[in-house]
């Protein structure tokens, strides 16, 4: 059974994917107040993510959760770059695994402040 990952989209992220053709794949939450992508991962890719990140788990809906926050941020960057929601995006994220792990180690003490 395939696994899923959710990527939340605020206005800034919506701007970054404008014209990518991904707009039609957006899911609406909270009555349309919150946008999100749902990625479907193949079994192989899901296993690679689970193996790379010790904290990751699969919830009752089949969603992979509890990955580092840096993972979620990187995941969006790769989606915006590849203009895709396929397995190639996960490859892009996994190629940056060292960078993610380095940021994740500091995550209990430091998180980058969002630009308003």
Partner 1 sequence: MLQIETPPPHGGRLIERVVRDPELGRKWAKNCAAAYDIKPTLSDGVPIRNVYREIMSICYGFFSPVEGSMKKAEVERILKERRLLNDWIFPYPLVFDITEEELKDLGVTVGDRLLLRLKGKPFAILDITEIWRIDDAEELATKTFGTPEGNPEVVQEPFNAKMPGWVIYKSLKPVVLAGKYTIINEPTFLEPFDRFWFPPRKSREEYARRGWRTVINHQTRNVPHIGHEFLMKDAGFTGDTEPCHGIQVNAIIGVKRAGDYPDEAIIEGHEAVNLGGYIKPERHIVTFTLWDMRYGNPLESMLHGIIRQNMGCTHHMFGRDHAAVGEYYEMFATQTLWSKGIPSYGFPASVNDVPYGLQIRPQNMKEFWYCPVCNEIAYSECCGHTKEKQKFSGSFVRGMVAEGIFPPKVIFRPEVYKVIVKWWKEFGFPFCNAKYVKEKEVRLEVDLPDMDI
Contacts with partner 1 by CB under 8 A lie at: 8-13, 29-31, 33-34, 69, 72-73, 107-114, 116
CA distance 31 to 44: 34
Find the angle CA(41)-CA(71)-CA(75) to the nearest 5 degrees.
55
Alpha-carbon distances, residue 87 vs 27, 41, 96, 102, 111 (angstroms): 19, 6, 15, 23, 27
**Rounded least distance, CB 50 to partner 1, Å:** 18
State which residue, 8 or 95, has the beta carbon closest to partner 1: 8
**Rounded least distance, CB 62 to partner 1, Å:** 17
State which residue, 29 or 43, has the beta carbon closest to partner 1: 29
State which residue, 7 or 85, has the beta carbon closest to partner 1: 7
């Amino acid at each position: 059974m395939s696994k899923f990952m959710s990527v939340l989209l605020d206005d800034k992220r919506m701007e970054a994917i404008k014209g990518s053709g991904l707009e039609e794949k957006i899911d609406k939450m909270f009555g349309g107040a919150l946008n999100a992508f749902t990625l479907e991962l193949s079994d192989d890719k899901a296993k690679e993510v689970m193996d790379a990140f010790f904290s990751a788990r699969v919830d009752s809906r089949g969603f992979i959760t509890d990955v580092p926050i840096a993972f979620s941020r990187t995941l969006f960057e790769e989606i915006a770059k590849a203009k895709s929601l396929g397995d190639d995006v996960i490859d892009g994220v996994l190629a940056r695994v060292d960078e993610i792990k380095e940021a994740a180690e500091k995550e209990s003490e430091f998180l980058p402040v969002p630009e308003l």
